[in-house]
Amino acid sequence: MNYSEKYQKWLSFADEETKKELLSIQNNEKEIEDRFYKDLAFGTGGLRGIMGAGSNRMNKYTVGKATFGLANYLKSKYSGEIKVALAYDSRNNSAFFAKVSAEIFANCGFKVFLYDTLVPVPVLSFTTAFLGCNAGVMITASHNPKEYNGYKVYDSRGCQFCTEDAKNAIGFINGIEDFASIPFGAQSKENITMLGEETLSSYLNEVKKQSLYEEKSDIKIVYTPLHGTGNLPVRRMLDGLDVTVVKEQELPDGNFSTVRSPNPEEEDALTIAIEKAKEISADIVLGTDPDCDRVGIAVRDNNGEYVLFTGNQTGALLVDFVLRMKKSTLNKKSTLVKTIVTSELGANIARKYGLIVEETLTGFKYIGDRINKYEDSGEQEFVIGYEESYGYLVGTHARDKDAVVSSMLICQMAAWYKNNGKTLIDGLNDIYREYGYYLDVLNSFVLKGKDGADKIESLMVYFREKGNTLFDDVKEVIDYSKGIAGLPKENVLKYIFDDGSWMAVRPSGTEPKIKVYYSIQDASRENAEKRFEAIKNTITKIIEG
C-alpha cells in the first residue's frame, strides 16, 4: 500500500477530529507523503515521533496499536494475572496517551497502575518492579522538541525492553492490521488503580539511600526543571540546601515556551537559569530535561562566569566522587558500565579504583540490562553507569538513567569540593592533570523526512565503504553492525586513531539526525582542539556536501 492509499484508508476509519486534520492537508502532497510513507516504527526503545494524524505520527491510533500488540505479547509470555504500570511526563498529549493505553490494557483484563500526576522516567522504572508488574509504559519523548512524544516499554525489573523482548513485541504489534480491533474506551475502568504520593515516596526513599555527603555547606544552587517532571522530586532530594528554582520554568508546559529545546545537552537550554545564577552569585546551575532522566550543569568560575559541562565531564567527576566516597565498600566485583560513545576518562578513573569496566551499545536500556544480568549471576556488582548524553545512574532502585539521584549526588559533590576550597572546575582540572586532557564533542546533523532518511542511509554506506582510508592515522574501524564483542548488532561505526583518540558516527534512533561523536586525547588542550577542528571539518564537508 503506497502513501496515498494509506491516506485514503485513514480517512475511512478515523474519528472526526483526526479526519479534520487529515482533510486540512489534502492538497499538500509532500505532507501526506511524510505522514504516510512508513509506519511509525516500534524499535528497541518503543515509539517516538512527531505528534499528529498519520501512520508515521504519534496519535491515538499508533499508540493504541502499540498497546494492543504489547498486551498480546504479554499474554503470550505470562499466565495468570498480568499487571502493568503506566506514567507520563509534561508533554502535550502525554496524559491523554497514558489514559488511552491504560484503558486498552484494562479492557484486555490486565491490572493497571496509572500515576495520577506526571512523574520522572526513573519513577516508572522503579514502580514497575516495586509493584511486581509484568511490564511498564512511560509516555515521554525525553528531551526531544515539543512536536514529539513517545512510548517507552519496560520489563518486569524496570529495564527498557532490550533486543529479545523488543523483537517479540514488534512481531505482535505489526500483527495488528485492523484499527477497529483495538479495544479503545473505558469499558473496564475498574481494572485501573491510580498511584500517587505513597509510591512516589517509596521511590524517593530509595534515592535517599544513595546519599554520599551530607555535611553542612553554604553552596548556592539554581535549579530548573525546564517545564518538566523534575520540579518536586529533585527539590525534595535537595532539601536542606540553598536552592533557587527558576520560576519561569518551574511549572509543566508541553510547549516548553521559554526554551528553543528542553534538552540540557543544548548550550542555550540553561540560559535563563544562568542569568538567575548571576543575580545571586550561585555556585552551580542544574537543569533536568522534561522526563527528568538527564541533567546538565554549569559552574561558576573565578571570574563569575558560568562554564557549561559536557555529559562526559560531569560523568568523569561523578565517577571520581562516587568511588572516592565508596572506596571502603568497593570489591573485586564492583563494576562501572558505560556506552561505546562515552569517553574513556571516567572508565580510566574507575580502573584506577580497581573496578571492572564494561561497555554497552548506545542507550541506557543496555546498561539496565547489565544490572539485571549482574543480579542474576552474582558475579559482578553495579556501582555506577553513565552515557555521554547526560544520563547517569547510581544504585539499582531504577534500571534507567535517573536525574533525581544524579542531581542529588552532583550537588553533594559540589558541596564537598566547596568545603575543600574548590569548585567542580578545579576538580575537573585535577582529573585532567592526572589522566590527561580529553576533548569530547557531539555534533548532530538534522535531516528530516524521507529525503533525510535516505541521505542518512547513504552516508552510513559511504562511511562504511571508506573504512580506515577516511583519515591517514586510523588504526582500526569497529563496525558494530557486525555484532562486535557479543553486543547486539547496531548501525554504528567507530574510528580508532593511532593515539587512542576516536570518532564515531551513528543515526539517531529517536530523531531525524545523524550523530558524530569525537573523543580527542592529548596532554595539551590546545593540540586537542586543533586536532578536533581538523577532523570535524572533514566530516562536516562530507555530511553537508
* Residues with active-site annotation: 142
Contact 95, 55 (CB under 8 A): no
In the numeric block, the cell 500517587 is attached to: 196
CA gyration radius for the chain?
23
Alpha-carbon distances, residue 520 vs 318, 345, 434, 472, 529 (angstroms): 21, 11, 16, 16, 8
In 96-254, DSSP assigns E strands to 111-115, 135-139, 148-154, 192-195, 220-224, 242-245
Q: What are phi and psi of 483, to 5 degrees?
A: 75, 60
Contact 427, 229 (CB under 8 A): no
Please give, one letter per residue, the 3-state secondary structure of 222-266.
EEECCCCCCHHHHHHHCCCCEEEECHHHCCCCCCCCCCCCCCCCC
The span from the CA of 329 to the CA of 354, in Å, is 12
DSSP state of 409: H
Beta-bridge partner residues of 86: 114, 137
In 35-100, DSSP assigns E strands to 47-50, 83-88
Overall residue count recorded for the chain in this entry:
545
